Amino acid sequence: MASDPESSRQRLNQLLAKAGNGSCADCGAADPEWASYTLGVFVCHSCSGLHRNIAQISKVKSLLLDPWSSSELEFMDSVGNYAAKAKYEQLVPAFYYCPTYKDCMLLRDQWIRAKYERKEFLNVDRQEPYSAGYREGFLWKRGRDNGQYLSRKFILSEREGVLKYFNKNDAREPKAIMKINSLNATFQPSKIGTPHGLQITYLKDNSTRNIFVYHEDGKEMVDWFNAIRAARFHYLQVAFPGSPNSELLPKLTRNYVKEGYMEKTGPKHTEGFKKRWFSMDDRRLMYFKDPLDAYARGEVFIGSKENEYTVLAGLPPNVQGYHWTFGITIVTPDRKFLFACETEEEQKDWIAAFQTVINRPMLPQEYAVEAYFKHKP
């Protein structure tokens, strides 16, 4: 029986005030306005849409617009976000990526399905696809020269410490060997143009290489992503024995600090500015002719303020050849790098991104990277 709207509104407000219920049970967004009355969790509008994908398990209602029965309210009271988390997330592996409201839809959809539909975190046997230390399968990989996506066999081997792919199914030698110690993976749906698009980067001769892959099956793609994270986690545990998980987990995979178009000029500042795609990956600022290029045209190391790196708004006087008017100057111990942004907002965002990196003291291993960049031909 439906309770009267006013009393159910009051009851829902009381439930939302309980610890854990004030943010989405799945992505952590504040002030959820929806709930699954079959699972007993409060969720945001975005995650409520993903719960509709598993309608046989989760049925959702608006807290503001839909009528609520007394029995539904009692059930919500008896469960709530904390209790559901304790139940459905009890065996989440340390390396597993738990998405937030800032992450792409694919990660959030598969997180919700993994928890409630597949119940992966109630039984470790269900985590085999990403926790076994070995994974092989076929992914669609973008061709370096023609941009065509072709099916390629991939093998991830924790024991060998590599991810490799083969151009032909029966090939003995892999086309590329990517060492786990420098591997990164980040979902790039809008850049790649598919909701399941994953960008994998690795270092070859200390330069960044990109490959772009996807799979039609969302679970397959997220399993690959978490398998890479698992392999990275176990590598870092060996490389840095005694380091707490709190230090290792942020290093498993990373999103770019910022990406987008800017104009740039050469070292003498006399040639015309050219529009390039820039990716800020930790302390490496890379630029590409096209966002989906396999190799960067160039890379710049961004150190810390203690080591004489600074970022300034604007360009030096007498510089010519740029179309975009919002300049940025990065000062390094050796030279100045000049960029121009199309809008003032982009300029502010890039400066904030550079400032974040410059304000962070350099780690011992980053000095070796800086030295490599200084002696690069």
The reported pLDDT for the residue numbered 4 is 75
Q: Give the tens place of pLDDT for each residue, 23-48.
A: 999 999 999 999 999 999 999 999 99
Q: What are 161-193's pLDDT values in tens digits?
A: 999 999 987 888 999 999 999 999 999 999 999
**In a 3-state reduction of DSSP, which class is residue 349?**
helix
Is residue 17 predicted with pLDDT exceeding 90?
yes
User: How big is the CA angle at 312 (ends 309 and 316), to the nearest 5 degrees?
Assistant: 110
pLDDT given for residue 377 in this prediction = 56
Give whole-number Cα distances, 253 to 89, 164, 167, 249, 332, in Å. 21, 18, 26, 8, 27
**Mean per-residue pLDDT, 302-328:** 93
What percent of the chain is modeled with pLDDT above 70? 99
CATH class of 5-117: mainly alpha
CB 105 within 8 A of CB 47: no
What are 47-80's pLDDT values in tens digits? Answer: 999 999 999 999 999 999 999 999 999 999 999 9
Question: What is the C-alpha separation between 98 and 125, in angstroms, rounded?
Answer: 19
For the stretch 194-222, pLDDT in tens is 999 999 999 998 889 999 999 999 999 99
Instruction: Pick the more confident residue, 6 or 27.
Output: 27
* CA separation for the pair 356, 203 (Å, rounded): 23
pLDDT at 205: 86
Please say if the pLDDT value at position 302 is more than 70: yes
Tell me the sheet residues that pair with 140.
Answer: 151, 214
Whole-number pLDDT of residue 2: 53
Q: Bigger pLDDT: 213 or 371? A: 213
Whether residue 222 contacts residue 106, with contact meaning beta carbons closer than 8 Å, is answered with yes
Q: Rounded to whole angstroms, how far apart are CA atoms 8 and 76?
A: 12
Burial of 354 (0-12, 13-18, 19+ CB in 10 A): buried
Phi, psi dihedrals of residue 348, rounded to the nearest 5°: -65, -40
C-alpha closest to that of 260 among 294, 293, 288: 288
Condensed to tens digits (0 to 9), the pLDDT of residues 106-133 reads 999 999 999 999 999 999 999 999 999 9
Is pLDDT at 1 greater than 90 in this prediction? no
- Identical fold, 127-251 and 258-375: yes
CATH 2.30.29.30 for domain 258-375 = yes
Contact indicator for 101, 29 with CB cutoff of 8 Å: yes
- The pLDDT value given to residue 97: 98
Domain coordinates in residue numbering, the chain: 5-117, 127-251, 258-375
The arrangement of secondary structure in 127-251, i.e. its CATH architecture, is Roll (2.30)
Look at residue 16 in the predicted model and tell me its pLDDT: 94
How many whole angstroms separate alpha carbon 21 and alpha carbon 12? Answer: 10
- Which tokens in the block code for residue 219? 């679970």
Residue range 361-371: mean pLDDT, rounded: 90
Q: Reply yes or no on whether the pLDDT at 319 is more than 70.
A: yes
